[in-house]
């Protein structure tokens, strides 16, 4: 399946979508159910997906990638299954974009959750304020 976030084209493997049994999924809310404990006491707020700038990764690095803990496939299927079953899923982390930016927020953690939300038809995502590692002093 291919879908877009602003000018960014994202591809999610159709077999992952099928394996998560998402064929007939339609969201009943505007955002997924949030795991409040995962916010570590930070305020959770809802962000419109359209207000978040597209994630720009280095060439050759896809949106859905493996981590040290799990494969991209396992991560995506787990998230999508959580959406379908109403499981509590951690919020994404965002920072405010500078004044004059085309977007209100920048995603700094939770790319898989964010783009799975878009693929699943949610219009919003639960979020907490994060920090941008690219702005830390070296």
User: How buried is residue 103: exposed, middle or buried, by Cβ count under 10 Å (0-12/13-18/19+)?
Assistant: middle
Q: Parallel, antiparallel, or unpaired for β 2-5 and 8-11? A: antiparallel
Q: Parallel, antiparallel, or unpaired for β 124-129 and 45-48? A: antiparallel
Give me the mean pLDDT over the 17-26 stretch.
97
pLDDT for the residue numbered 67: 87
Pick the range with the lowest mean pLDDT from 19-23, 107-111, 128-132: 128-132
Residue 127 contacts residue 39 (beta carbons within 8 Å):
no
pLDDT in tens, 68-84: 999 999 999 999 999 99
Q: Considering the chain, what percentage of its residues have pLDDT values greater than 90?
A: 84
Domain residue spans of the chain: 2-130
């Amino acid at each position: 399946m291919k879908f877009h976030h602003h000018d960014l084209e994202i591809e999610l493997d159709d077999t992952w979508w099928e394996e998560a049994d998402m064929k007939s999924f339609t969201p009943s809310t505007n955002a997924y159910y949030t795991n409040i404990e995962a916010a570590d006491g930070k305020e959770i707020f809802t962000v419109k997906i359209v207000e978040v700038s597209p994630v720009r990764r280095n060439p050759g690095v896809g949106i859905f990638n493996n981590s040290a803990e799990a494969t991209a496939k396992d991560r995506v299927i787990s998230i999508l299954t959580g959406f379908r079953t109403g499981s509590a899923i951690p919020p994404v982390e965002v920072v405010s974009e500078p004044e004059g930016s085309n977007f209100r927020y920048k995603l700094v953690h939770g790319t898989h959750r964010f783009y799975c939300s878009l693929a699943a038809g949610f219009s919003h995502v639960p979020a907490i304020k994060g920090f941008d590692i690219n702005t830390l002093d070296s």
